[in-house]
Amino acid sequence: MDIKYYVGVKFENSSKAYYFGTDIDGLKVGDFVIADSIRGVQVGKIATESFDIKNYKSELPLKPIVRKASEDDLFIFEENKKRAKGALKVAYEEIERLKLEMSPLEAEYALDGTKVTITYVADDRVDFRELLKALASRLHCRIELRQIGPRDKARYIGGIGICGLPLCCSTFIPSMEGISINRAKNQMLSLNIPKLSGHCGKLICCLLYEDDNYTELKKDFPNIGTTFFKDGVQFKITSYNVLSRVVKIESGDDVEFVPLAEIKPLIKKRYEK
């Protein structure tokens, strides 16, 4: 295939778009295509515009889009989703029979039905050799067992976050990344780990994607510990809220919360002397 374009494709139960190469002209966002993915031949949906292959900068090789999906392809796709529910039930039965410490979450067939990928979570490594044999004999196709971490589990299952909205990982975050406690420190949050943890038991995702905004907003504030005089009394900045733009200042037992706009001229006046 003479690749002319690369384009983002999303698959069932995935919030992330993956790039594929194609020679097909006129692909539009929302079109269904058949893509040769790492999980086999799959139905996916175009998620981005087509880009000229000359602009592709990644060193990762592009797998191909085979063709636009036909009505027959989409019919088989829907039938495979029904078969996948049965495959997941079989997986539960065999895992229980073998008393394995793992929990299957999802099963997905390749379009041609020759392979089923079963996604699971487990706290430790699992010896699933006997499970593979049992599943192959009952499902009569190639089996791939794919372990995922707690963040991905939360994305699969979904739920409501502490903010009252659906989980970010299951709605719009394209990829799962490790999050350091330094993100919470940058946002000047109380380091109460249970309150900063999401459904997955890990630090909440918003600490990551909001971090750049907090870093930028903090540039407008004086450093913690800065001193200045207000009404003839020396105060020290001990904290501030970048969203409300209110600064906490202290002088002995006197504690005040003052708008940043009132503090900046006083600081400027002192350090101009």
Q: What average pLDDT does the chain have?
A: 88
Say if strands 142-147 and 115-121 run parallel, antiparallel, or are unpaired.
parallel
Instruction: For residues 239 and 188, state if they share a domain.
Output: no
pLDDT (0 to 100) of residue 84: 95
79 or 14, which is more confident: 79
Domain boundary among 69, 89, 110: 69
Instruction: For residues 64 and 28, state if they share a domain.
Output: yes
Is 197 within a domain?
A: yes
264 or 91, which is more confident: 91
The tens digit of pLDDT for each residue in 194-224 reads 888 888 888 888 888 888 899 999 999 999 9
Is 156 within a domain?
A: no
The tens digit of pLDDT for each residue in 223-264 reads 999 998 888 889 999 999 998 999 999 998 889 999 999 888
Q: Compute the C-alpha angle 83/88/94, nearest 5°.
A: 125
pLDDT band at residue 88 under the 50/70/90 scheme? very high
Instruction: For residues 136 and 82, state if they share a domain.
Output: yes
Is 243 within a domain?
A: yes
Is 205 within a domain?
A: yes
- Collapsed DSSP state (helix, strand, coil) of residue 103: strand
pLDDT at 177 exceeding the cut of 90: no
Contacts of 110 (CB under 8 A, 6+ apart): 39, 40, 41, 42, 116, 117
pLDDT (0 to 100) of residue 175: 65
Is 128 within a domain?
A: yes
Percent above pLDDT 70 for the chain: 96
pLDDT at 83 exceeding the cut of 70: yes
Amino acid at the residue 204: I
- DSSP 8-state secondary structure symbol assigned to residue 168: G
CATH number at residue 115: 3.30.300
pLDDT at 76 exceeding the cut of 90: yes
Is 158 within a domain?
A: no
pLDDT at 118 exceeding the cut of 90: yes
pLDDT band at residue 17 under the 50/70/90 scheme? confident
Instruction: For residues 169 and 232, state if they share a domain.
Output: no
Instruction: For residues 189 and 238, state if they share a domain.
Output: no
Percent above pLDDT 90 for the chain: 51
Is 91 within a domain?
A: yes
pLDDT at 31 exceeding the cut of 70: yes
pLDDT at 81 exceeding the cut of 60: yes
Show the tokens assigned to 23: 């020679």
The tens digit of pLDDT for each residue in 129-169 reads 999 999 999 999 999 999 887 777 777 777 888 888 888 87
pLDDT at 272 exceeding the cut of 70: no
Domain count along the chain: 4
pLDDT (0 to 100) of residue 267: 83
pLDDT (0 to 100) of residue 273: 55
Domain boundary among 69, 84, 105: 69
Show the tokens assigned to 37: 């993915």
Domain boundary among 121, 148, 175: 148
Domain range for 262:
227-271
Instruction: For residues 64 and 95, state if they share a domain.
Output: no
Asked if 90 contacts 128 with a C-beta cutoff of 8 angstroms, the reply is no
Instruction: For residues 58 and 99, state if they share a domain.
Output: no
Instruction: For residues 65 and 79, state if they share a domain.
Output: no
pLDDT at 174 exceeding the cut of 90: no
DSSP H or E stretch at residue 133: helix 129-139
Show the tokens assigned to 31: 């079109």
Is 102 within a domain?
A: yes
